[in-house]
């Protein structure tokens, strides 16, 4: 029952995320080709600033709220009223800090102006996105998934149209502002009529308690996202081999590609958090969720991502972004392996987020960010955006080790047994070695792609669980057809 619900909810979030990513990718491709590497880099900088601003303003309340409402749904309305009020208040109070930081960093006036407008958009988005907490906590994923698809379609279509008319970055930022304002109005009315009569509430002692509970989520969210976005900031300010704006563009293009691979793990994280939180005492169930999701992600997401970014980075960059972005090919290969590790960590991240001992992970998360920053500064000075990608990869290696250690320490769960790891990784390693030999012997890209597809198909059928499901499915279909013929 729980497993079926988790699969269903993950499916809703995944499909909506996949469709949204397709719309976003279409816009990113058009924007990258229209704006050029320099302006595309500025677009990445604006996104990085506003994203981190949103995380700071929201103070990690979303994950905490989902966990607490999922555990006690009878107090949902009272708790949500304060959560909504607190989130909106924090993001408004954080806006002057955004202005001060942007001025301190010394960006040119046009860039600062665009960041100010994007920050206001984040304020309205915080209000409307708060209502997703209710749907996720109650495990009602269908409605927000449909709304997410509609918003993604309209926003990306509007952005493409604005670029087509020649309004550039300024047009994109302004249309996003009006879209977030309209979305806040519509979602506010919809939830009030269809879900609950929410209201703004202020209880200082309760707010302190909520902030105390959300503090670990806020810090962890900042550290986790800062690993990626801090590299954008460093590229914008450090003197490297390539000018800052172009370097950000070359870094953002492979990052955008790898981000599409996060659709399934991101969907799983959203769908699994309330399930894990409400069944935290059932360690066998939690262990089963981690085990099953790890194997599925390894087979269907991580392995294809590694193959694609290792052996076909040039084709991917050329087809999606054009020849202007060919310098970013090495970064795509490095980031492909880095994001593969991030996806591998997704089931553990969900479990740690559901734990009340999550604050014990904070020092380790700070260490991971420190490793990234320590390596990124000298590597960017020498290798520009490729150095930033290398630092990101090293930080993900450390993160993988630490998260699995914490999973065993906090939950007493050992992720995968050595025997299972060998059984799963060995055929993948063989496939990669065969492809590497073919690549080194200058096999044409067309034949290499055909070989990769064949070997991948054989490899996934090698896994016992997947093979049994296919055989069962074929058997069920054959049995149904035989029964139908017998009835005739």
- % of residues, the chain, pLDDT over 90: 19
The pLDDT of 73-87, averaged and rounded, is 79
Q: Is the pLDDT of residue 484 over 90?
A: no
Would you give the distance in Å from CA 229 to the centre of its chain?
13
pLDDT tens track for 167-182: 888 999 999 898 888 8
pTM of the model: 0.76
Q: Could you tell me the two tokens for 114?
A: 């665009």
Whether 479 has a pLDDT exceeding 60, the answer reads no
For the chain, state the CA radius of gyration. 23
Q: Is 357 helix (H, G, I), strand (E, B) or coil?
A: coil
With contact defined as beta carbons under 8 Å apart, do 107 and 164 qualify?
Answer: no
* pLDDT at residue 307 in the model: 94
419 vs 459 pLDDT, higher one? 459
Distance, in Å, from the CA atom of 403 to the CA atom of 393, rounded to the nearest integer, reads 15
pLDDT score for 480: 44
* pLDDT value at residue 477: 43
Distance CA 106, CA 29 (A): 29
Judged by phi (left if over 0) then psi (alpha if -120 to 50, else beta), residue 442 lies in left
> What pLDDT band is residue 465 in, cutting at 50, 70 and 90?
low
The per-residue pLDDT for 338 is: 94
The reported pLDDT for the residue numbered 457 is 86
Reading the block at residue 111, the tokens are 């860039």
Domain boundary assignment for the chain: 2-416, 419-488
Separation of alpha carbons 441 and 107, rounded Å: 48
Flag whether pLDDT at 230 surpasses 70: yes
Instruction: Specify the pLDDT at position 4.
Output: 56
Tell me which of 480 and 159 has the higher pLDDT: 159
pLDDT at 462 over 80: no
Task: Compute the mean pLDDT over every residue in the chain, rounded to the nearest whole number.
Answer: 79
* Dihedral angle computed from the Cα positions of residues 456, 460, 461 and 463, in that order, rounded to the nearest 10 degrees: 150
Instruction: Name the band, by pLDDT with cuts 50, 70 and 90, for residue 470.
Output: very low
Can you tell me whether residue 328 is helix, strand or coil? helix
pLDDT band at 279 (very low <50, low <70, confident <90, very high): low
More confident position, 223 or 56: 223
Backbone angles phi, psi at 322, to 5 degrees: 100, 170
pLDDT at position 476 over 50: no
């Amino acid at each position: 029952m729980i497993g079926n619900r988790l699969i269903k909810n993950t499916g809703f979030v995944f499909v909506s995320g996949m469709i949204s990513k397709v719309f976003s990718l279409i816009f990113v491709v058009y924007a990258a080709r229209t704006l050029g590497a320099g302006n595309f880099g500025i677009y990445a900088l604006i996104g990085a600033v506003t994203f981190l601003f949103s995380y700071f303003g929201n103070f990690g309340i979303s994950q905490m709220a989902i966990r607490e409402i999922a555990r006690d749904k009878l107090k949902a309305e009272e708790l949500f009223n304060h959560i909504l009020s607190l989130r909106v208040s924090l993001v408004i109070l954080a806006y002057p800090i955004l202005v001060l930081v942007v001025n301190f960093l010394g960006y040119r006036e046009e860039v600062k102006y665009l960041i100010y407008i994007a920050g206001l958009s984040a304020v309205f988005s915080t209000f409307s996105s708060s209502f997703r907490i209710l749907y996720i906590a109650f495990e009602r994923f269908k409605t927000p998934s449909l709304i997410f698809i509609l918003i993604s379609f309209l926003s990306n279509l509007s952005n493409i149209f604005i670029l087509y008319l020649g309004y550039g970055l300024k047009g994109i930022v302004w249309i996003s502002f009006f879209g977030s304002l309209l979305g806040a109005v519509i979602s506010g009315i919809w939830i009030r009529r269809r879900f609950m009569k929410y209201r703004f509430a202020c209880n200082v002692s309760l707010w302190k308690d909520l902030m105390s509970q959300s503090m670990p989520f806020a810090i962890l969210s900042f550290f986790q996202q800062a690993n990626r976005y801090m590299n954008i900031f460093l590229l914008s300010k450090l003197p490297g081999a390539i000018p800052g704006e172009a370097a950000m563009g070359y870094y953002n293009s492979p990052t955008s590609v790898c981000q599409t691979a996060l659709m399934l793990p991101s969907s799983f994280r959203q769908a699994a958090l309330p399930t894990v939180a409400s069944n935290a005492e059932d360690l066998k169930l939690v262990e089963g969720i981690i085990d099953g999701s790890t194997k599925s992600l390894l087979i269907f997401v991580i392995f294809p991502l590694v193959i694609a970014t290792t052996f076909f980075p040039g084709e991917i960059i050329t087809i999606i972004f054009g020849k202007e972005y060919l310098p970013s090919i090495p970064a795509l290969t490095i980031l492909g392996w880095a994001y593969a590790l991030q996806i591998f960590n997704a089931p553990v991240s969900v479990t740690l987020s559901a734990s009340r001992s999550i604050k014990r992970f904070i020092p380790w998360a700070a260490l991971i960010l420190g490793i990234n920053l320590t390596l990124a500064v000298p590597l960017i000075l020498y290798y520009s955006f490729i150095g930033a990608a290398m630092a990101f990869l090293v930080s993900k290696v450390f993160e993988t080790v630490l998260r699995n250690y914490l999973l065993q320490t906090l939950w007493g769960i050992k992720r995968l047994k050595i025997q299972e790891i060998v059984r799963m990784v060995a055929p993948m390693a063989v496939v990669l070695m065969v492809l590497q030999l073919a690549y080194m012997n200058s096999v044409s890209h067309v034949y290499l792609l055909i070989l990769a597809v064949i070997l991948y198909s054989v490899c996934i059928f090698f896994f016992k669980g997947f093979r049994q499901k296919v055989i069962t499915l074929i058997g069920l279909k054959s049995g149904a057809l035989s029964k139908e013929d017998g009835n005739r």
